[in-house]
Amino acid sequence: MKRLLLLPVLASLVLVTTSPLSAATKTVSITSAGFVPSTITIAQGDSVTWTNADTRNRQPASKNAPFTAPVLKPGESFTFTFKDDGKFAITDELVKGQRGSVTVTKATTPVGAPSLKASRAKTIYGGSVVLSGVVPSAKPGEKVTLRADMVLPTGAHQRSVVAEMATTTAGAFSFTHVPRAQTAYTVVWQATPTTAPASPAVTVLVAPRLGFGVVRKLTLRRVVFSTKATSAIPYAGRSVYIQRRNSFGQWVSLKRVVLKSNTLATQATLRLPSGVSRMRVLMPKAQAGTGYVVGVSRTISIIR
Protein backbone atom coordinates (compact mmCIF):
# COMPACT_ATOMS: atom_id res chain seq x y z
CA MET A 1 0.00 0.00 0.00
CA LYS A 2 1.36 3.40 -0.94
CA ARG A 3 1.45 5.56 2.17
CA LEU A 4 3.61 8.52 1.22
CA LEU A 5 3.35 11.02 -1.61
CA LEU A 6 6.36 13.06 -2.66
CA LEU A 7 5.31 16.55 -3.71
CA PRO A 8 7.39 19.02 -5.74
CA VAL A 9 9.23 21.48 -3.51
CA LEU A 10 7.95 25.02 -3.65
CA ALA A 11 8.89 26.84 -0.46
CA SER A 12 8.97 23.78 1.75
CA LEU A 13 7.98 20.13 1.63
CA VAL A 14 5.18 18.69 3.72
CA LEU A 15 4.39 14.98 3.51
CA VAL A 16 1.32 13.64 5.26
CA THR A 17 -0.01 10.13 5.61
CA THR A 18 -3.78 10.03 5.49
CA SER A 19 -5.85 9.27 8.57
CA PRO A 20 -9.59 9.40 9.24
CA LEU A 21 -8.96 11.81 12.09
CA SER A 22 -5.83 13.69 13.21
CA ALA A 23 -6.74 14.78 16.72
CA ALA A 24 -3.50 16.64 17.37
CA THR A 25 -0.02 17.16 15.92
CA LYS A 26 3.25 17.55 17.83
CA THR A 27 6.46 18.86 16.28
CA VAL A 28 10.05 17.64 16.49
CA SER A 29 13.06 19.59 15.18
CA ILE A 30 15.96 17.70 13.65
CA THR A 31 19.10 19.62 14.61
CA SER A 32 22.82 18.88 14.37
CA ALA A 33 22.56 17.58 17.93
CA GLY A 34 19.68 15.21 17.14
CA PHE A 35 15.91 15.10 17.64
CA VAL A 36 14.50 17.93 19.78
CA PRO A 37 12.69 16.83 21.85
CA SER A 38 14.12 13.34 21.66
CA THR A 39 11.14 11.70 23.39
CA ILE A 40 7.48 12.66 23.12
CA THR A 41 4.16 11.15 24.15
CA ILE A 42 1.00 11.38 22.05
CA ALA A 43 -2.44 9.76 21.95
CA GLN A 44 -3.45 7.11 19.45
CA GLY A 45 -4.54 8.81 16.23
CA ASP A 46 -2.30 11.87 16.82
CA SER A 47 0.47 12.93 14.42
CA VAL A 48 4.11 13.98 14.68
CA THR A 49 5.80 16.42 12.30
CA TRP A 50 9.58 16.29 11.92
CA THR A 51 11.22 19.46 10.52
CA ASN A 52 14.80 19.54 9.31
CA ALA A 53 16.40 22.38 11.27
CA ASP A 54 19.92 21.27 10.29
CA THR A 55 22.08 22.51 7.41
CA ARG A 56 22.34 19.03 5.83
CA ASN A 57 19.80 16.53 4.56
CA ARG A 58 18.00 14.32 7.09
CA GLN A 59 15.68 11.29 6.88
CA PRO A 60 13.64 10.22 9.96
CA ALA A 61 12.43 6.63 10.03
CA SER A 62 10.92 3.99 12.30
CA LYS A 63 11.08 0.25 11.72
CA ASN A 64 8.16 -0.65 13.98
CA ALA A 65 5.79 2.20 13.07
CA PRO A 66 6.66 1.60 10.20
CA PHE A 67 7.67 4.55 8.01
CA THR A 68 10.66 6.01 6.19
CA ALA A 69 10.46 9.66 5.26
CA PRO A 70 11.87 10.90 1.97
CA VAL A 71 15.13 12.80 2.19
CA LEU A 72 14.38 16.15 3.86
CA LYS A 73 16.37 19.15 2.76
CA PRO A 74 16.88 21.97 5.29
CA GLY A 75 13.52 23.52 6.12
CA GLU A 76 11.44 20.62 4.83
CA SER A 77 8.98 18.63 6.96
CA PHE A 78 7.41 15.18 7.17
CA THR A 79 4.26 14.19 9.09
CA PHE A 80 3.18 10.72 10.20
CA THR A 81 -0.04 9.68 11.96
CA PHE A 82 0.29 6.92 14.58
CA LYS A 83 -2.72 4.64 14.35
CA ASP A 84 -1.42 2.04 16.83
CA ASP A 85 -0.43 2.42 20.48
CA GLY A 86 3.05 1.48 21.78
CA LYS A 87 6.58 2.84 21.89
CA PHE A 88 8.29 3.56 18.57
CA ALA A 89 12.03 4.09 18.10
CA ILE A 90 12.95 6.90 15.70
CA THR A 91 16.29 6.99 13.84
CA ASP A 92 17.90 9.04 11.09
CA GLU A 93 18.79 7.08 7.97
CA LEU A 94 21.44 9.62 6.95
CA VAL A 95 23.06 10.41 10.30
CA LYS A 96 23.98 7.40 12.42
CA GLY A 97 23.73 7.42 16.19
CA GLN A 98 20.87 9.90 16.48
CA ARG A 99 17.81 8.42 18.10
CA GLY A 100 14.45 9.45 19.47
CA SER A 101 11.20 7.82 20.49
CA VAL A 102 7.46 8.34 20.30
CA THR A 103 5.20 6.81 22.95
CA VAL A 104 1.59 6.41 21.79
CA THR A 105 -1.02 5.92 24.50
CA LYS A 106 -4.06 3.80 23.68
CA ALA A 107 -7.13 5.79 22.73
CA THR A 108 -10.02 5.49 25.18
CA THR A 109 -12.44 5.38 22.23
CA PRO A 110 -11.79 4.31 18.62
CA VAL A 111 -10.54 7.05 16.33
CA GLY A 112 -13.02 8.16 13.69
CA ALA A 113 -16.38 9.70 13.00
CA PRO A 114 -19.87 8.16 12.96
CA SER A 115 -21.45 7.01 9.72
CA LEU A 116 -24.65 8.63 8.50
CA LYS A 117 -27.25 7.87 5.84
CA ALA A 118 -30.73 9.19 5.01
CA SER A 119 -33.80 7.08 4.27
CA ARG A 120 -34.43 9.23 1.20
CA ALA A 121 -32.51 11.81 -0.81
CA LYS A 122 -35.60 13.96 -1.46
CA THR A 123 -38.86 14.53 0.34
CA ILE A 124 -42.01 16.60 -0.17
CA TYR A 125 -42.58 19.52 2.18
CA GLY A 126 -44.05 18.20 5.42
CA GLY A 127 -42.57 14.74 4.94
CA SER A 128 -40.08 13.21 7.34
CA VAL A 129 -36.71 11.59 6.78
CA VAL A 130 -34.91 9.01 8.93
CA LEU A 131 -31.20 9.63 9.54
CA SER A 132 -29.30 6.66 10.89
CA GLY A 133 -25.77 5.40 11.40
CA VAL A 134 -23.27 3.74 13.73
CA VAL A 135 -20.50 5.12 15.96
CA PRO A 136 -16.98 3.61 15.66
CA SER A 137 -17.01 2.19 19.18
CA ALA A 138 -20.05 0.00 18.31
CA LYS A 139 -21.22 0.41 21.91
CA PRO A 140 -24.66 1.31 23.33
CA GLY A 141 -25.12 4.42 25.46
CA GLU A 142 -22.81 6.67 23.40
CA LYS A 143 -23.99 10.28 23.02
CA VAL A 144 -24.66 11.46 19.44
CA THR A 145 -25.91 14.85 18.31
CA LEU A 146 -27.75 15.56 15.06
CA ARG A 147 -26.97 18.92 13.43
CA ALA A 148 -28.81 20.58 10.54
CA ASP A 149 -27.66 23.19 8.01
CA MET A 150 -30.83 24.48 6.29
CA VAL A 151 -30.94 26.76 3.25
CA LEU A 152 -33.01 29.91 3.89
CA PRO A 153 -35.04 31.80 1.24
CA THR A 154 -32.31 34.47 1.18
CA GLY A 155 -29.69 31.87 0.29
CA ALA A 156 -28.12 32.06 3.74
CA HIS A 157 -27.75 28.98 5.92
CA GLN A 158 -29.35 28.34 9.31
CA ARG A 159 -27.27 25.97 11.43
CA SER A 160 -28.80 24.32 14.47
CA VAL A 161 -28.64 21.33 16.79
CA VAL A 162 -31.72 19.22 16.08
CA ALA A 163 -31.61 16.47 18.69
CA GLU A 164 -29.44 14.30 20.91
CA MET A 165 -29.73 10.64 21.81
CA ALA A 166 -27.81 7.65 23.16
CA THR A 167 -26.80 4.85 20.82
CA THR A 168 -28.51 1.48 21.04
CA THR A 169 -27.23 -2.03 20.31
CA ALA A 170 -23.89 -2.12 18.43
CA GLY A 171 -23.61 1.68 18.59
CA ALA A 172 -26.52 2.34 16.24
CA PHE A 173 -28.63 5.49 16.25
CA SER A 174 -31.65 6.77 14.33
CA PHE A 175 -33.23 10.23 14.18
CA THR A 176 -36.50 11.23 12.49
CA HIS A 177 -36.69 14.82 11.28
CA VAL A 178 -38.93 16.95 9.04
CA PRO A 179 -36.79 19.30 6.92
CA ARG A 180 -38.51 22.58 6.03
CA ALA A 181 -36.14 23.23 3.10
CA GLN A 182 -32.96 21.73 1.66
CA THR A 183 -30.91 20.57 4.63
CA ALA A 184 -27.43 19.09 5.10
CA TYR A 185 -27.26 16.83 8.15
CA THR A 186 -24.22 15.77 10.18
CA VAL A 187 -23.84 13.77 13.37
CA VAL A 188 -21.19 14.27 16.04
CA TRP A 189 -20.21 11.69 18.60
CA GLN A 190 -19.42 12.07 22.32
CA ALA A 191 -17.64 15.45 22.46
CA THR A 192 -19.25 18.89 22.16
CA PRO A 193 -20.57 19.68 18.66
CA THR A 194 -17.88 22.33 18.07
CA THR A 195 -14.93 20.01 18.64
CA ALA A 196 -16.17 16.50 17.90
CA PRO A 197 -15.43 14.70 14.64
CA ALA A 198 -18.50 14.99 12.44
CA SER A 199 -19.92 12.38 10.12
CA PRO A 200 -19.91 13.03 6.37
CA ALA A 201 -22.70 15.46 5.49
CA VAL A 202 -25.91 14.01 4.05
CA THR A 203 -28.09 16.44 2.07
CA VAL A 204 -31.86 16.00 1.80
CA LEU A 205 -33.68 17.94 -0.93
CA VAL A 206 -37.20 19.29 -0.39
CA ALA A 207 -39.89 19.87 -3.02
CA PRO A 208 -43.01 22.03 -2.50
CA ARG A 209 -46.18 20.09 -1.73
CA LEU A 210 -48.54 20.49 -4.68
CA GLY A 211 -52.25 19.82 -4.35
CA PHE A 212 -54.20 18.89 -7.49
CA GLY A 213 -57.78 17.78 -7.99
CA VAL A 214 -60.93 17.99 -10.09
CA VAL A 215 -63.57 20.48 -8.99
CA ARG A 216 -66.20 19.53 -11.57
CA LYS A 217 -66.65 18.32 -15.13
CA LEU A 218 -68.43 20.63 -17.55
CA THR A 219 -69.94 20.04 -20.96
CA LEU A 220 -67.87 20.02 -24.19
CA ARG A 221 -65.14 18.00 -22.43
CA ARG A 222 -64.16 20.94 -20.22
CA VAL A 223 -62.86 20.23 -16.70
CA VAL A 224 -62.32 22.60 -13.79
CA PHE A 225 -59.19 21.79 -11.81
CA SER A 226 -57.89 23.17 -8.52
CA THR A 227 -54.28 23.41 -7.40
CA LYS A 228 -52.16 24.94 -4.65
CA ALA A 229 -48.53 24.87 -3.49
CA THR A 230 -47.25 24.74 0.07
CA SER A 231 -43.83 25.15 1.66
CA ALA A 232 -42.20 27.46 4.21
CA ILE A 233 -42.38 30.39 1.76
CA PRO A 234 -45.47 32.12 0.23
CA TYR A 235 -46.43 31.19 -3.35
CA ALA A 236 -49.08 33.81 -4.19
CA GLY A 237 -48.16 35.25 -7.61
CA ARG A 238 -45.94 32.30 -8.56
CA SER A 239 -46.75 29.91 -11.39
CA VAL A 240 -47.43 26.21 -11.87
CA TYR A 241 -48.19 24.30 -15.05
CA ILE A 242 -51.03 21.83 -15.59
CA GLN A 243 -49.66 19.03 -17.73
CA ARG A 244 -51.06 16.10 -19.72
CA ARG A 245 -49.15 12.97 -20.65
CA ASN A 246 -49.23 12.33 -24.41
CA SER A 247 -49.18 9.03 -26.28
CA PHE A 248 -45.36 9.07 -26.33
CA GLY A 249 -45.17 9.23 -22.53
CA GLN A 250 -44.08 12.88 -22.53
CA TRP A 251 -45.56 15.49 -20.20
CA VAL A 252 -46.92 18.47 -22.16
CA SER A 253 -47.87 21.73 -20.44
CA LEU A 254 -51.43 22.75 -21.27
CA LYS A 255 -51.88 25.82 -19.11
CA ARG A 256 -49.88 28.13 -16.89
CA VAL A 257 -51.70 28.93 -13.65
CA VAL A 258 -50.77 31.88 -11.42
CA LEU A 259 -51.43 30.99 -7.80
CA LYS A 260 -53.62 33.40 -5.88
CA SER A 261 -53.04 32.19 -2.34
CA ASN A 262 -50.65 30.12 -0.28
CA THR A 263 -53.50 28.40 1.56
CA LEU A 264 -56.51 28.38 -0.82
CA ALA A 265 -56.60 26.41 -4.06
CA THR A 266 -56.58 28.24 -7.40
CA GLN A 267 -58.99 27.02 -10.07
CA ALA A 268 -58.36 26.60 -13.81
CA THR A 269 -60.56 25.30 -16.65
CA LEU A 270 -59.19 23.13 -19.46
CA ARG A 271 -60.71 21.43 -22.47
CA LEU A 272 -59.49 17.85 -22.82
CA PRO A 273 -59.63 15.43 -25.74
CA SER A 274 -61.99 12.50 -25.59
CA GLY A 275 -60.76 9.39 -23.89
CA VAL A 276 -58.46 9.08 -20.88
CA SER A 277 -56.16 11.96 -19.89
CA ARG A 278 -53.42 11.53 -17.31
CA MET A 279 -52.89 14.90 -15.63
CA ARG A 280 -50.51 16.48 -13.12
CA VAL A 281 -49.20 19.86 -11.94
CA LEU A 282 -45.54 20.89 -12.12
CA MET A 283 -43.80 23.79 -10.35
CA PRO A 284 -40.42 24.61 -11.96
CA LYS A 285 -37.33 25.18 -9.82
CA ALA A 286 -37.39 28.92 -10.59
CA GLN A 287 -40.90 29.14 -9.10
CA ALA A 288 -40.28 26.76 -6.19
CA GLY A 289 -37.80 29.21 -4.62
CA THR A 290 -34.38 29.02 -2.98
CA GLY A 291 -33.98 25.89 -0.91
CA TYR A 292 -36.52 23.88 -2.94
CA VAL A 293 -36.40 21.65 -6.00
CA VAL A 294 -38.97 21.04 -8.75
CA GLY A 295 -42.39 20.19 -7.35
CA VAL A 296 -44.70 17.60 -8.92
CA SER A 297 -48.25 16.75 -7.83
CA ARG A 298 -49.92 13.37 -7.86
CA THR A 299 -51.12 12.08 -11.21
CA ILE A 300 -54.87 11.81 -11.78
CA SER A 301 -56.81 10.22 -14.65
CA ILE A 302 -59.74 11.98 -16.31
CA ILE A 303 -62.18 10.23 -18.67
CA ARG A 304 -64.10 12.44 -21.11
Residue 18 within any structural domain of the chain: yes
Judgement on whether residues 29 and 85 belong to the same structural domain of the protein:
yes
What's the pLDDT tens digit per position in 232-254? 999 999 999 999 999 999 999 99
pTM of the complete model beyond 0.75: no
Q: Where is pLDDT greater, at 76 or 46?
A: 76
Residue 184 within any structural domain of the chain: yes
pLDDT band at 220 (very low <50, low <70, confident <90, very high): confident
Judgement on whether residues 166 and 222 belong to the same structural domain of the protein:
no
**Which range of residues forms the domain containing residue 147?**
117-206
Q: What is the CATH number of the domain that holds 148?
A: 2.60.40.10
Residue 75, pLDDT score: 93
Q: What is the CATH number of the domain that holds 27?
A: 2.60.40.420
Residue 7 within any structural domain of the chain: no
Is 301 a residue whose pLDDT tops 60?
yes
Residue 97 within any structural domain of the chain: yes
In the chain, the percentage of residues whose pLDDT exceeds 70 is: 89
Average pLDDT for 117-132: 96
Cα-based distances in Å from 128 to 51, 121, 182, 199: 52, 11, 12, 20
Residue 2 within any structural domain of the chain: no
Residue 221, pLDDT score: 84
Average pLDDT for 263-291: 94
Residue at a domain's end among 163, 183, 206: 206
29 close to 55: Cβ distance less than 8 angstroms: no
Is 22 a residue whose pLDDT tops 60?
no
Residue 20, pLDDT score: 37
Residue at a domain's end among 206, 241, 265: 206
Residue 108, pLDDT score: 62
Residue 8, pLDDT score: 33
What's the pLDDT tens digit per position in 59-78? 999 998 989 999 999 999 99
Residue at a domain's end among 73, 105, 137: 105
Residue 292, pLDDT score: 96
Residue 91 within any structural domain of the chain: yes
Residue 8 within any structural domain of the chain: no
Judgement on whether residues 218 and 298 belong to the same structural domain of the protein:
yes
- Report the candidate in 37, 33, 31, 78 with the shortest Cα–Cα distance to residue 55: 31
**Average pLDDT over the chain, rounded to whole?**
88
Average pLDDT for 19-25: 52
What total of structural domains would you count in the chain? 3
Residue 2, pLDDT score: 36
Is 14 a residue whose pLDDT tops 50?
no
Judgement on whether residues 258 and 178 belong to the same structural domain of the protein:
no
Q: Where is pLDDT greater, at 99 or 304?
A: 99
Residue 3 within any structural domain of the chain: no
Cα-based distances in Å from 47 to 26, 41, 61, 112, 291: 6, 11, 14, 14, 40
Q: How far apart are the first and last CA of the chain?
A: 69
Judgement on whether residues 175 and 251 belong to the same structural domain of the protein:
no
Judgement on whether residues 30 and 83 belong to the same structural domain of the protein:
yes
